[in-house]
Structure 1
Amino acid sequence: MSHEHAESAFDKGHGFETRAIHAGYEPDPTTGAVNPPIYASSTYKQDGVGGLRGGYEYSRSANPTRTALEGALAAVEEGERGFAFASGLAAEDTLIRSLTKPGDHLIIPDDAYGGTFRLVDKVAKPWGVEHTPAPVSDLERIAAAIQPGRTKLVWVETPTNPLLNIGDIAAIAGIAHEAGALLVVDNTFASPYLQQPLALGADVVVHSTTKYVGGHSDVVGGALVVKDLDVAERIGFHQNAVGAVAGPFDAFLTHRGLKTLAVRMDRHCDNAERIVDFLTSHPAVGDVIYPGLETHPGHEVAQRQMKRFGGMISFRVRAGEGKALDVCANARVFTLGESLGGVESLIEHPGRMTHASVAGTELEVPADLIRLSVGIETVEDLIDDLERALG
């Protein structure tokens, strides 16, 4: 299987579930193995000097297990090329290095994931790439943040982490392209099953595949998917040059998770909707933030560009930060922990945990905010756990 020709018969023209299961890999012609082998090899025998078998020479450059995952990711996001990395932040760092240079400028969400903000503010900025935060839901603010000739990337999360704001991907793509910039969409919260940004005009999709794509909290990874082959060539060069690639074992686990993404996401969404109903009527709870609520300011846009509204919920408690910390500590079925998107439900306090890196900045999140990653357990158990934790 050449990494330069990783398409399969299932890459186009089939439904999402079929592509997620079959794309990127054909059963092994020798054994008939239906899953990609774990190629635990760092190097490959060459048929003479420069004679590469299937294009493989060294596993930083390409590995057949990673090739299969990258082909499947491209297929489910309806892109031309996929790239798998050691983490979501490794993917983001490679993207920034590939598509910007010192003196350039990018726009990020004003409630971006803390790790993204840290990368942009503490790594890219000293390197010479400036940034401006703007709300993903405010098209006028995004347009006003454009610096003509300097802005190379407009970077959005939708839904955002952790405030679940919604950006209109098609409209933002128009703003970015008119300015000569590329639109990057972090699709981690929605997953490829619920939202496909490339089809809406985005140029690059970013994933922390640690989350819903892997889906079992047992592997760390990241991905980029692009639709333009010139952009793909630049990213591919930097992926190899920088070298923060997914190893074969990680690629295998991530690919295995991708195959069940659709059925898991439907259950995540089912459970989240039931929990939202519970939270909105609880006296200890203030704002419930979920794009599926008609009261959510981004509901109409989310309804238009997402298949369903996802498994992430944020809410604020009426009694302040102390109460929020108590709720997080008292949960039992919900595990107190960072990350998200696994089969198990997680609860966390963003201000003290995942978003501590933005404390004291304009991206600081409310101290009374709790974030839930709703898993696929029995939903009555989850509701009972929250009821007890809320007191």
Structure 2
Amino acid sequence: MRRPRGAAVAAIALTGALALAGCARDSSSGGGDGGGDSAAGGSGCELAEAPVADEEVAPSEVPTEDVDASELRVGLAYDIGGRGDASFNDAAAAGLDRAVDELGISPDNIRELTAGANESEDAKQTRLRQLADDGFNPIIGVGFAYAESFNVVAAEFPDVDFALVDAPADPENVTALLFAEHEGSFLAGVAAAYESENCHIGFVGGVENPLIQKFEAGYLAGAQAAAPDITIENTYLTSGSDITGFQDAARGNEAALGQIEAGADVVYHASGASGQGVFEAAFAQDVKAIGVDSDQYNQEIVGEAHEVIVTSMLKRVDVAVFDFLAAVAQDDLSVMPENFNLSVDGVGYSTSGDLLAADTIEALEGYRSEIISGAIEVPDTPSGN
């Protein structure tokens, strides 16, 4: 199964509905075990007719021509894992690196700080105050874990431009960088349906909360739109305030193995560093996997397991960070989109590895243009929630 099968590309998403070790639940949706005739790659699903891509439907972009950001001093506060996490934080780092290359920000005018595991709220606020007191402006926080801290610290520094990834904040000087994870995950679900030989797929979510449920909702909707009779395994590693589900590769491995033993042959994860365990399980069992946030096929930390990553759902935190820095540099935050969705290239799918069948890509582009045009409205909460 580890072989190229077509051009390239795919979309991803994720979330689940079960948890391990007492704070979890298992469920399957859809029915049957596939086996219907299909035009796609090796898919065992009986596939619905895919929409045809409209070449006139294309994402828009924030204008950045002639923007000079050389005077900016940028502070970046990462969530747990920081630069090098092969996921969410790395996507933010990529946006900053692009701004250095294209907007003229000096590396000497950048400070990057990283949150510790299970740290206090005071520690987060101290990190943000340190950046502001030292003259960094703008300041970007990566992840909803900074929401409370931004409400407090941004109000103390009204002349500093702040941006917060994945959560809104009350002060007027905070720009919320929000994403349509459900739209990107819809495409991941379509890709999974087309690439599955058993018509049986899985989703592993790190922490069961409203944000990760957006991944789940889109993934389920996309898979069921492409293959109404598909069977889906859902697993959450933890729930509520227990965020260790984003940091436990062993538990991710265990969850993925359980789904594979149940019959899933494509597994999508939205579980941060726990996704490493998902990839290792998929590689060991010779099934396919879908990455999340960044193009995980190209990340060194994944190692030889990258061979089974057919695509990744790209949550373009890099685009959002770059666009925000460009907007601040031109002193015009009005150019920022309210939501980074498919229409502004805020989410999408990766093309690395040349592992997706050509008809899978064709279907993905068709569904993508339908979502951008509004013909398809993707749910952002799982049915029943």
TM-score over 0.5 for the pair = no
- More contact order relative to length (CA 8 Å, sep ≥ 6): 2
TM-score (norm 1): 0.34
TM-score (norm 2): 0.34
